[in-house]
Amino acid sequence: METKLEVCIDNLAGLEACIQGNADRIELCSSLIHGGLTPEANLMKHASNAEIPVRVMVRPKRGNFHYSSIDLRQMKNDIDMARSFGFEGVVFGATLVNGEIDQTFLEKLIKHAFGLKKTLHRAIDTVANPVAAVNIATNLAFDCILSSGGFKTANEGLSVLNDMHIRALGKIEIMPGSGVNPKNAHKIAKSSNFKWLHSSCSSLLENSAFTDANKIISIKNETNY
- DSSP sequence for 178-192: SS--TTTHHHHHHHT
pLDDT classification of 205: cutoffs 50, 70, 90: low
pLDDT at 202: 86
Q: 208 pLDDT exceeds 80?
A: no
Question: Around Cβ 46, how many Cβ atoms within 10 Å?
Answer: 15
Sign of the C-alpha dihedral, residues 82, 83, 84, 86? positive
**Cβ(78)–Cβ(56) under 8 Å?**
yes
Look up the domain containing 104 and give its range.
4-223
- On the CB side of 97, CA atoms within 13 Å amount to 1
- pLDDT tens per residue across span 72-106: 999 999 999 999 999 999 999 999 999 899 999 99
In which region does residue 44 sit, left (phi positive, over 0), alpha (psi from -120 to 50) or beta (all else)? alpha
Q: 207 pLDDT exceeds 70?
A: no
- pLDDT tens per residue across span 104-151: 999 999 999 999 999 999 999 999 999 999 999 999 999 999 999 999
* Separation in Å, CA 118 to CA 96, 109, 144, 163, 170: 20, 10, 7, 21, 16
Q: The pTM is what?
A: 0.95
pLDDT at 200: 94
pLDDT at 224: 84
pLDDT at 206: 57
> CA 17, CA 20: separation in Å to the nearest integer?
5
> CA 175, CA 191: separation in Å to the nearest integer?
12
> CA 190, CA 205: separation in Å to the nearest integer?
31
- pLDDT tens per residue across span 28-61: 999 988 889 999 999 999 999 999 999 999 999 9
Average pLDDT over residues 168-178: 97
Instruction: Provide the CATH number for the domain around residue 12.
Output: 3.20.20.380
Residue type at 88 in one-letter notation: E
pLDDT at 34: 86
Average pLDDT over residues 157-165: 98
